[in-house]
Structure 1
Amino acid sequence: MTRSHDPELLTLPTFGSFLRWLRDDRRMSRERLAVSAGVSASYVTHLEWGDRDHPARAVVESLVDCLGRARALTMTERRHLFDLAGLPITSTPTVEQLRARISDDALRILDAQRGGVAGYFDARGNILALNNAAQSILPGLRVGENGLHWLFGNEIARQVFVDWDTVAQATVSGLRGRIGTFGHADWPEQLLDELGAYPEFCSIWNAGEVTFTSELPPIQLRESGAGRPVSLTVQVFDVDVVDYPGWLRAFVGIRRDLPMARVSIV
């Protein structure tokens, strides 16, 4: 067998090459794009040839606006251009906007876990969806509300988690790690202002520990009602949403019933 393609013709995507593709696809000259974006034609040339690898956010946004007036960019095209420029998309979605990105098929996946605990949440810890098993084993945790507020502000959370301190530690250190990936976003300060009302949160936060793990050690819980002890092995996944990268996450927990102990939950 012989190779039908010359590997030298295959090049990695760059900001400049994709900018040129978008411009050519709209039959727009460099001069027209430059005048509309408020930059020089020579600067656009430098961008397209890779002499300017990391343009400022204001420049990229202006180029996107100008290209969009010829024909709107899809969310995928806009995301790819910003990714190639090394610029994270900084818009902060609402809970409703993120819930709208969870398709019916994605919700059916939660219900298909057959007793497993599963749900979707966002980078701030807001709960976007829970299956029936999750709602049963985590009483008081409701869709649309913040899971950190439930963990630190709802007494029932301390009764549910046998090792509440360990869960709290992992949750706060994970939040610190996620905040770092968003750069100069505006939402972390507001969230910390809210969570600052909980002394235990402040103590853990000020210890400065950071984690990025997606697989947690087994978590022991007391099941509501009968107080039956349960062990959950939880895996956390990032779910890519084109227009809100890094925002949507999912968790799946496999439960294992433990021998009855003399514990109860009110």
Structure 2
Amino acid sequence: MGESTALSAYLRERRLAAGLARTELAARAQMAPLLISQIESGALVPNHAMLQRLFDSLDVPHWYRKHILVLGLPAVESGAVATAPSAEDLADLASLTHPACLTRFPTMDMLAANSDYQRLFPGLGAGVNMLEWMFLNPVAKKVYLDWNTEAQLLVHAFRMLAPLAPTQRVSAITASCGESPDWDPVWTSEVRPQDIARRHLRLRERSTGLERRMMLRIYDPAFPSRPWWLYRLIPVR
């Protein structure tokens, strides 16, 4: 019997969230119930075709599937995995000419942010959770001109990927954000596909009051591998 992986646990959580028995999921995915049991226990790592059928049957949005695989499958590491950005990582971040930050996904805990990012998002730096800042810091609604849409997208990603994060951390973030009257309405709302495919964000600079239109780019460090992602905001010209 294999050990349960984050991916196998994720698939099980998604099945339970959908209210499906293993036999029902097996029928939807056109797979034997035994295979579903083996995948959820970690005894079997599903191949690409199996994963696509399971994702389709569990209504997992296409735009999250690569992230789920990156977070859910055990990485092959040649050495110790970094737990915090090194001096070189921070120097690299500071050298970027546009707003950028390092964020642990999917909990969205901030590990570092360059000066341009902190100017654009006051109070959002190392040690701050992006979701908590979005819902509990009044500055967020002044910075994001389309706050409701951006909050929905952030919460939807968190909701879909939370099974891949430590349960205690997810519970702490949910409890903290739940103090905001906006949390429950946003949590239960549905994200429109056209919002996911948006080309840019509309932000207001606190120092000048001017609107800035920026593209969001997210990068997963590959060489060397790091347990965080790089968020960059590129001005639209």
TM-score normalised by L of structure 1: 0.52
Equivalence map 1:194-209=2 (5 Å): 194-207=176-189, 209=191
Distance 1:219 1:87 in 2: 31
Per the alignment, in what secondary structure is the counterpart of residue 134 of structure 1? helix
1:138, 1:157 within 8 Å by CA — same for their partners in 2?
Answer: yes
1:251 is aligned, of 222, 225, 231, to 231
Distance in 2, matches of 1:210 and 1:192, equals: 22
- Summarize the alignment of residues 29-40 of structure 1 with structure 2, pairs less than 5 Å apart: none
Counterpart of 2:95?
112
CA deviation profile, 1:49-69 (whole Å, cap 9, x unmatched):
xxxx98978xxxxxxxxxxxx
1:159-217 Cα deviation digits (max 9, x unpaired):
111111111111111111221334x7443223212221122121111235599x99863
User: 2 CA distance for matches of 1:108 and 1:176?
Assistant: 32
State how far apart, in whole Å, the 2-side matches of 1:87 and 1:234 are.
25
2:136 corresponds to: 153
Distance 1:198 1:151 in 2: 10
Question: Of 107, 110, 127, which residue of structure 2 is paired with 1:144?
Answer: 127
Q: Is the 8 A contact 2:214 2:235 kept in 1?
A: yes
Instruction: Name the Cα RMSD after superposition.
Output: 3.6
Distance in 1 of aligned mates of 2:82 and 2:146: 30
Unaligned runs of 5+ in 1: 1-14, 16-52, 58-82, 90-97, 258-266
Does residue 142 of structure 2 align to residue 162 of structure 1? no
Partner of 2:111: 128
Aligned to 2:213: 231
Counterpart in the other structure of 2:164? 181
Q: Deviations over 1:81-102 (max 9, x none)?
A: xx9xx9769xxxxxxxx98531
Contact 1:214 1:235 in 2 (8 A): no
What's 2:173 paired with?
Answer: 191
Amino acid at match of 1:189: S
Q: 1:204 to 1:129 in 2, by over 3 A?
A: same
Distance of 1:186 and 1:242 partners within structure 2: 28
Q: CA deviation at 1:251?
A: 0.3
Amino acid corresponding to residue 164 of structure 1 in structure 2: W
**Which of 1 and 2 has greater Rg?**
1
Cα distance in structure 2, aligned partners of 1:124 and 1:235: 18
Q: In the superposition, relative to structure 1, how do residues 99 and 143 fare at CA in structure 2: closer, same or farther (>3 Å)?
A: farther
1:220 aligns with 2:176: no
- Residue 185 to residue 214, structure 1, CA distance change in 2 (3 Å): farther
Contact 2:152–2:189 (Cα < 8 Å) also in 1: no
Distance of aligned partners of 1:216 and 1:239 in 2 relative to their CA distance in 1, 3 Å threshold? farther
Contact 2:213–2:235 (8 Å) recurs in 1: yes
| Mapped partners of 1:223, 1:119: distance in 2 | 17
Q: Which has the higher contact order (CA 8 A, sep 6+)?
A: 2
Preserved CA contact (<8 Å) 1:214 1:236: no
Matched residue pairs, number?
A: 166
TM-score by length of 2: 0.58
The equivalent residue for 1:103 is: 86
